Every structure is written in structure tokens, then in C-alpha cells.
Chain A
Amino acid sequence: MGTLEVRNVTKDFTIRNGLKRSRLRAVNDVSFTLEPGKTIAIVGESGSGKSTVARMIAKLETPSSGEILIDGTPSAHRGRALAKYRHNVQMVFQDPFASLNPFHSIRHHLERPLRIHGRAKTNAELDRAVEELLTRVNLTPAAIFAEKRPHEMSGGQRQRVAIARALAPGARFLIADEPVSMLDVSIRLGVLNLLARLQREENLGVLYITHDLATARHFSDEIIVMFRGNIVERGPADDVILNPQHEYTKLLLSAAPDPRNQGKLRDEVRSELASTSAASGEAVGVRDRFGTAGL
């Protein structure tokens, strides 16, 4: 099976401010290769360009330069060839409350891509395909879930529908942009485990875009760290997390909450304040002034 390759991709956005125009380089010379059966995580903060990379791969943005190749051939930007590309590459969006149409049943959401991509034609074929898709994402009994509308389902169930919809055209590569950040914490792992199982059992290539280092580590083979449009560090997941090289990766890691550091922040703050006791004395004075005299 082929690969999905991102080669030297750059994206510039034009910013208009009155009559002035300036250019913002959102993604700068990014390259990586996604293989079937592997998960790559792109981590970074807002504005790092990670979502722009995802959107370029999903053909929602056009790269300013560089190429996205599938099975070694450059991907098209329009027409039949683009439709063919979309058979293979599909996206799962962040917000399952916004990405499903409240008017339509789950069946409708799944039948449309099946029809458009020519995966099923007759009603019997469609029924069978919908049932199979829902079963693959553990929404069973499929017959009942197919008739529901989005508002009748929980966030986790909706995100499973979004994954099923992405799988409907027969996608071999899934681009998941923060797929669990809108979900309750106790159901996040369920959705991530589902992606992991699909990746493993169906040999899917998954690009997992996230700001959460812990799940990036546990659910991916490789981690790419982005900062202001550039890849600053990449490597096997455990290496990047346990032995970070770049300053920015270290900063991200030190900022992640760690339940084992109980009271550490408090003690740090206390010793900081103690060492600048003059300053804190001043602040207490301020408090007195406004606690009483302020009246």
C-alpha cells in the first residue's frame, strides 16, 4: 500500500489591515510521510500551523508551495483526480456538535459520501454499507443508531459518526484535527482507542493533530512538534516526550500538568515570594489600603 507524503509544504496567508498588506507564513517547509498502519501526531499550540497542515492535506487549503503526494504521485487540486484523492484521504473535525447537520439522520450523513464516492448504489447496498460502518465504529445496534439525529447522541457517539463518515469513501488516511478536545474526559480515551484499533486492524494511516502531549505519546508512533509554522522536533513518540531536545518541546512538557507534582507550584511560588519579600510586603500594603481605606 502506498503512502501519503507531504513534501516541503509552505502556506502563506495575506493579512489585510486597511490598505496595508502583509504576509503571514503559517506553515514553513514542512515534510513528512504518513504510512498505512502508522499514526503521526503533530503537537503544538494555537497558531503553530498544525491545523493548517491538516487542512492542506484535506484539500481545504492550497499550499503556497510544496506538494502533497499520494502513492508517489502529486495530488490534484480539482476535478476527477481530486475526487479520487478524497476517496483515500478524509478528515475528522474537532467539534462533533458543529460538524453534523442537525436536520438529518445519521443514515443520511453516511449515505451521502457512500453515494458520492460510488461505494454503494442500490438501497440494499446502502443499507448494508451504513450498517457495516456503524458497526466498525462500535455504534451498535446499527439499525437504531442509523435513524437517530445528532442531538439524540452524546459527543462521543457523534464523533464516532464523524469517523464513520470519514471512512465511508474507503479512506486509507484519516486526518484527525483535535478529535477529542471537545469531548468529556472520560470518553476521550474511547474515541482514541477506536482510532487506534482502526489504524491497527484496518491498516489506516492516521494523522493526529493535538495539543495534548500525553495522548500524542500514547496514541502515535511518531511525534512532530511545531512552533510558529516550523517543525522544531520530530522523532519516535517516546523519544520526543521522554528525551526532548529542543527548548520549545521542553517548555511544552514542563507546562503540562503532572499530578505527581503536588504542591510543587505552591512551594515554588512561596519561595519566590520569600526571596522578594520586599515586593510582597508592598503588595500587602496595597491590600490594606484597598481593603479598608479604599472604602
Chain B
Amino acid sequence: MSTPTLTAKPAGDAGAAPDAVPVLTARNVSIEYQVSPVVRAVKDVSLTLHRGEILGLAGESGCGKTTLAYGLNQLLKPPALRTSGEIVLHDKDGHDIDVAALSGDALRAFRWDKVSMVFQGAMNSLNPVISIRSQLFDVFDTHRPGMSKKDKLDRSRELLELVGVDPNRLNSYAHELSGGMRQRVMIAMALALNPQVMIMDEPTTALDVVVQRGILREIMRLREQFGFAVVFITHDLPMLLEISDRIAVMLQGEIVELNTSEEIYRAPAHEYTRKLLASFPSLTGERGAFVRSGEDSGDNTGGVA
């Protein structure tokens, strides 16, 4: 591997505004899949996520981006194991939560309340046999046991309205909704407890561009309104460049470049970032100018498939 381009500043902080307040810090996180042979999926990754920031995590299949996201949320299941590193959430009431040390009820209370997640293939993550209403109510039943039925209903309707879904769809089942609507419902669910961090794993990958644009706009608007920070995971670098404040590029378990979107676009430092950028033909630019490599190139990268 080539050397990472991170500077020695606070680890994983490259490109951040000087007045940015961190909300989630990961330091030297390594994650292994303990199979034989051991797969080192995430290698010594450091990241700092700031309040209200959209941090893009770009990389191809097998680069470890989803594993890292699961690690940040303490969602890893054997054979995956975090072998080193610490993950700290700087709660808005001032004290720090050592995410890595959480387990049992404390972990249960932490998840979704502080850090929520929109899963990969969110379109298919809704339960097909219970209504949207019951699934939203589940969140409140677990985390806000005192809430009255009316409050839950009001809040559920409000959440759907926030993400642009007709509140009357509350009684619908997943199969009655379009892909875009299902995705919006997933986002509503992630918003339910007003978390400080939202991890979105390929939230728009299976959607048509027009629908995707609507959802991105929704995410941006909700972020402005509620000020949560987003870790946005995707392989779609042009999209990340458009929406993120900073971008981390992952390759084979390592963050090889981390900087502001402007810098990544203007002056990509790592060879792999340049290669990723060169993989997307420009829509309106010079015809054919994008083809920077021959047809044989690149078939052998992409990490563990």
C-alpha cells in the first residue's frame, strides 16, 4: 500500500473548518473478520465527524466502508471484531460516550437515540408484514416508553411529513409504497429520535436519478433544520462531491485520502482518488476526454470481492 496522505493534525480531521465541533471521533480503529484466513477489513482508521457536517465515505465493494459504519455504531457481529481503536461520541449535553465500551441495555439506549442508521438496501429493510405505523411505533416503544399513543401517532405523522410522504400512508405496508417512498420512510425512522449522527449506507443506490435527487435534497434540508451530522457512504463519487463537506476515500480498509470536497475535486492527492475520478465520464464536458486509461486497466483492484 502507498502511504496515507493524512497529515499529523488531529487524526482524521483533515480539511475541517477550524471552528468545527466534533461529534464523533474514531481513533485508530481496526476491524477484522475472524475467519480463516483473517480478513483485515478496516485498518487503523481515524475519523472525526463534526456537528452538522456531511462526511462522504467513498470506496468500492470490499473496501471496508460498510464494516467501518457498523463499527461506528457498535453493530458488528461475529466473526467481525474490532481489534483496536476507540470510538467516542461527544454528546450535546457535554459528556463523552465511549461507544466501544457500550453493551447490553446501555448500547440499546444509545443506538438510534444518538446515532441512527439508514441501511444499505434500505428499500428492502422494512418489515413486509407489519404496517409503517407499527414500525415507527416500535422505535418509540423501545426508546420513549412513556409516550402516549396520541403523541406517538402525532410524531409519526409529523415524521412522514418531514420526509415528504403523505401521513395517510401510515397504515400502508412496505409493498404498497414505491422504492423512493420506502427510502423516505427509512429516513423518517432514522430521524425519529432526533439523533446527532446519521449513518447512511448507500441510501440512494437502487433509485432512479430523479428520485435520488429528491431524496438528497430532503437529506440536505433536514440536516439544515435539525443539525445532525451525516456519514454518507457510497461509491458514487460525483454525487459525494456535490453534497459532502468533506470526503474520505477508502481503499482496502484504509482511508487513503481525506479532505474537503473542493480539494478532492480540484487536487486529488492519492493515485486511487484520481483513478476513481477518472472512472466517471463527465456528462457535459469534452466528449471522450474522460478516457484516461486503456480498457484493460483496473480489473484487478477493488479489494476483496
CB distance from B101 to the nearest CB of A (A): 23
* Inter-chain residue pair count (beta carbon < 8 A): 155
8 additional A-B residue pairs with CB within 8 Å, beyond A185-B276, A186-B302: A189-B291, A189-B298, A194-B295, A213-B283, A215-B281, A238-B287, A259-B237, A294-B147
Whether A272 lies near B296 (C-beta < 8 A) is no
A291-B93 Cα distance, complex, nearest whole Å: 12
A234 on the interface (CB 8 Å rule)?
A: no
Q: How far is the CA of A7 from the CA of B221 in the complex (A)?
A: 46
Min CB distance, B39 to chain A, in Å?
17
Enumerate chain B residues within 8 angstroms of A255, measured Cβ to Cβ: 209-210, 212-213
B282-305 interface with A by 8 A CB criterion = 282-284, 287-288, 290-291, 293-302, 305
A292 to chain B, nearest CB (A): 10
* 17 A-B contacts (beta carbon < 8 Å): A45-B210, A45-B211, A46-B208, A156-B298, A184-B235, A186-B60, A189-B298, A241-B283, A257-B241, A258-B238, A258-B284, A259-B242, A260-B265, A265-B220, A265-B243, A266-B220, A294-B144
Q: Kindly supply a per-residue 1/0 record for chain A positions 244-284, scoring 1 wherever the CB is within 8 Å of any chain B CB and 0 otherwise.
A: 00000001111111111111111011101100000010011
Give chain A residues whose Cβ lies under 8 Å from the Cβ of B278. Answer: 189
Return chain A residues, CB-CB under 8 Å to B287.
Answer: 217-218, 238
Taking CB atoms, residues of chain A closer than 8 Å to B146 are 295
Of A189, A261, A263, A286, which contacts B293 at CB under 8 A? A189
Contacts of A241 in B (CB 8 A): 283-284
Closest chain B residue, CB of each to CB of A44 = B208
Complex interface: chain B residues within 8 A of A25 (CB): none
Proximity string of chain A (174-207) to chain B, C-beta cutoff 8 Å, 1 when within and 0 when not: 0000000000111111110110010000000000
Contact of B194 among A259, A262, A272, A290 (CB under 8 A): A290
Contact of A124 with B by CB under 8 A: no
Which A residues are within 8 Å of any B CB, using their own CB? 45-46, 138, 154-157, 184-191, 193-194, 197, 211, 213-215, 217-218, 238, 241-242, 251-266, 268-270, 272-273, 280, 283-284, 286-287, 290-291, 294-295
A218 touches which of B238, B288, B293, B302 (Cβ 8 Å):
B288
Q: Which residues of B contact A (CB under 8 A)?
A: 60-61, 144, 146-147, 151, 155, 158, 162, 179, 193-194, 208-213, 216-217, 220-221, 224-226, 235-239, 241-243, 261-262, 265, 275-284, 287-288, 290-291, 293-302, 305
A269–B221 touching, CB < 8 Å: yes
B residues in contact with A215, CB < 8 Å? 281
**Assembled-state Cα–Cα distance A188/B280 (Å):** 9
From residue B174, how far is it (CB to closest CB) to chain A in Å? 17
B165 CB to closest chain A CB (Å) equals 16
Closest to A290 in B: B194
The interface residues of chain A lying within 8 Å CB-to-CB of B242 are: 257-259, 261-262, 264-265
Report the minimum CB–CB distance from A136 to chain B (whole Å). Answer: 12
CA distance A242 to B285 in the complex (A): 9
Q: Is the CB of A259 within 8 A of B265?
A: yes
Q: With a CB–CB cut-off of 8 A, which chain A residues contact B225?
A: 273, 280, 283-284, 287
Could you say which of A156, A194, A252, A263 contacts B210, with CB atoms under 8 Å apart?
Answer: A252
Inter-chain CA distance A215–B282, complex, in Å, is: 8
Whether the pair B209, A256 counts as a contact (CB closer than 8 A) is yes
Is B210 within 8 A of A185, CB to CB? Answer: no
Q: Pick from B193, B237, B299 the residue with the most CB of A within 10 Å.
A: B299
Question: Can you name the residue of chain A whose Cβ is closest to the Cβ of B216?
Answer: A265
Q: Which B residues are in CB contact (< 8 Å) with A252?
A: 209-210
Q: List the 4 closest A-B pairs by CB distance, nearest first.
A: A193-B295, A259-B241, A257-B239, A45-B208
Nearest-neighbor residue (CB-CB) of B54 within chain A: A266
CB neighbours of B297 from chain A (8 A) = 190
Q: How far is the CA of A185 from the CA of B293 in the complex (A)?
A: 14
**Residues of chain B contacted by A189 (CB below 8 angstroms):** 278-279, 281, 290-291, 293, 295, 298
Please give the distance in Å from A100's CB to the nearest CB on chain B.
14
Nearest-neighbour CB distance to chain B for A43, whole angstroms, equals: 10
Measured between beta carbons, the chain A residues less than 8 angstroms from B281 are: 189, 214-215, 217-218
- For the complex formed, measure the closest distance between the CB of B163 and the CB atoms of chain A, giving whole angstroms: 12
Q: Taking CB as reference atom, which chain B residue is nearest A267?
A: B220
The answer to whether B296 and A251 have CB atoms under 8 Å apart is no
Whether A190 contacts B239 by the Cβ 8 Å rule is no
Partner of A190, one of B162, B221, B299: B299
Specify which chain B residues have a CB less than 8 angstroms from the CB of A46 in the assembled complex.
179, 208
Which residues of chain A are within 8 angstroms of B238 by Cβ–Cβ distance? 257-259
A184 touches B208 (CB 8 A): no
Beta-carbon contact of A155 and B305 below 8 Å: yes
Q: Give A268 to B216 CA distance when docked, in angstroms.
A: 12
- CA–CA, A155 and B216, complex, Å: 28
Cα distance, A218 to B289, chains bound together (Å): 9
Q: A184-B235, A273-B225 are in contact. Are A262 and B265 (CB under 8 A)?
A: yes
Alpha-carbon gap, A138 to B297, bound state (A) = 11
Q: Are A269 and B220 in contact (CB under 8 A)?
A: yes
Return chain B residues, CB-CB under 8 Å to A193.
291, 294-295
Instruction: Please state if A217 and B221 are interface contacts (CB–CB under 8 Å).
Output: no
Please tell me if the beta carbons of A187 and B226 are within 8 angstroms of each other in the complex: no
Tell me if B194 and A287 are in contact (CB < 8 A).
yes
Name the A residues within 8 Å of B239 (CB-CB). Answer: 257
A270 contact set on B, CB distance < 8 A: 224
Task: State the CA gap A211–B236 with chains docked (Å).
Answer: 14
